[in-house]
Structure 1
Amino acid sequence: MNLNFNMKFAEGYSSNSQIARVLTENWVKENSYCPCCGANPIVEYENNRPVADFYCSKCAEEFELKSKNGKLGGIINDGAYSTMIQRITSNSNPNFFFLTYNKQNTVDNFLIIPKQFFTPEIIIKRPPLSDTAKRAGWIGCNIDISTISNLGKIFLVNNSNIVKPELVQEAFNKTRFLREKNIESKGWILDILNCIEKIPTKDFTLKEVYNFEKELMIKYPNNNHIKDKIRQQLQFLRDKGLIEFNGRGIYKKT
């Protein structure tokens, strides 16, 4: 994997946004592989495809690319709000690549967030454009990736360090079971994962997870059995190998 952009693809372009798009898309096409099955290279779709930018010809996973000059941050600008909501709640939503680069035109970070981690909650609606705007009334959105579990942020390149592909594949496929869940069930699993990640130690207790009961009650006001639900999700995560149960209400992050 070569972390440098191939600058010859910028020739003939004057717009900075066009140059950035061409350079980043070409870099992914020449350097990335499928995080699901490891196939290399992935294939670029034709321009202006509304659903995704790349796909894997072996396992058919689809990927959309978001790139940024500088630090990634927790909020990512995206397109139309209604389109984004429709996509992530459908069966055809893609996985998302996020790429950051520097002034030297080299890649700093390249990660994938699998599609099962995208829920309507992380899509933030922006105010409509004013009546004087060219697209008056248009409503865009931002993606809040700061609330996504660390299990859903899988780096192929982390701070200019290339991660071993076998580790990427293992991490990507570890949570594929979430795709089988409906929105509500998936939401509960992801919420409990986030609660666990807020606990600073690797070992944690059931009581420490119970401390998030009030927070979960606000989110699920119609559920009168929050503690039962917490225990249920912990057992599920244990069965999936994402946490270990060591007896007497003590768990361990794997």
Structure 2
Amino acid sequence: MSEKIALGNWGEELVAKKARCPKCKNAKTLKKLTQNFKCADLICDFCGFVAQVKTSSTNDINTLPNSILGAAWGPQKERMDAGIYTSLFVVLRSKSDKNYSIFFLPSELQVPEMFVAREPLSGNAKRAGWQGFLIDTTLVADRFVRLI
């Protein structure tokens, strides 16, 4: 397992363990979805709320990075075109110790401009043509809520 995948799994498990469901407010009801589930990582097994989790290693857990790597642009764009946005947890883990923070951005406070398509992978790449995206947090930084 790569370091990035391990970090992402850790962030998803942390949110499932520490955060209450933003919709129904129940504790311990957020569960991990299967790996590679498109545009979502957690589901509340009580009310059905879904969320995406992005985890980043940083020197400052108190400040959101200006951008965060998203995943596949195709599914994200299809959902956005249909008016569907997924709430977002951002987990920041300190590079120097075991401290962390969790930020939350509900789907209704997101804007299409915060999702920026990246260039498709070159023809020589292992997954040639695959296209990811970035999440530009600067456009909505004041809309995030710090949970932990």
- Bin of the TM-score, shorter chain as denominator length: 0.7 to 0.9
> Which residue of structure 1 aligns with residue 114 of structure 2?
122
1:173-192 Cα distance to aligned partner (Å, 9 max, x none) = xxxxxxxxxxxxxxxxxxxx
What are structure 1's unaligned runs of at least 5 residues?
Answer: 1-12, 158-254
> Which residue of structure 1 aligns with residue 18 of structure 2?
31
Higher strand content, 1 or 2: 2
Which has the greater radius of gyration?
1
1:45 aligned to which of 33, 41, 49: 33
Q: Kindly state the Cα deviation for residue 75 of structure 1 after the two structures are TM-superposed.
A: 0.9
Shift of 1:30: 1.5
Evaluate the alpha carbon distance shift between residue 92 and residue 122 of structure 1 in structure 2; reply closer, same or farther with a 3 A threshold.
closer
Gaps of 5+ in 2: none
Aligned to 2:71: 79
- The alignment yields a C-alpha RMSD, in angstroms, of 2.1
RCO greater where, 1 or 2, for CA within 8 Å and sep 6 or more?
2
- Normalized per residue, the structure richer in helix is 1
Q: Distance in 1 between matches of 2:145 and 2:81?
A: 21
Superimposed CA distance per residue, residues 30-76 of structure 1 (whole angstroms, 9 cap, x where no aligned partner): 21111233111122223322231112233322111000000431111
C-alpha contact 2:85 2:110 (8 A) present in aligned 1: no
Partner of 2:98: 105
Counterpart CA distance in 2 for 1:105 and 1:76 is 20
| Identity rate, percent | 25
Instruction: Indicate if the aligned counterparts of 1:97 and 1:112 stay in contact, CA closer than 8 A.
Output: yes
Q: TM-score, normalised by structure 1?
A: 0.50
Please give the TM-score of this superposition, normalised by the length of structure 2.
0.82
Deviation at 1:114, TM superposition (A): 0.8
Q: Deviations over 1:198-244 (max 9, x none)?
A: xxxxxxxxxxxxxxxxxxxxxxxxxxxxxxxxxxxxxxxxxxxxxxx
User: Tell me, what secondary structure is at the counterpart of 1:18?
Assistant: helix
Structure 1 residue aligned with 2:7, among 2, 20, 24? 20
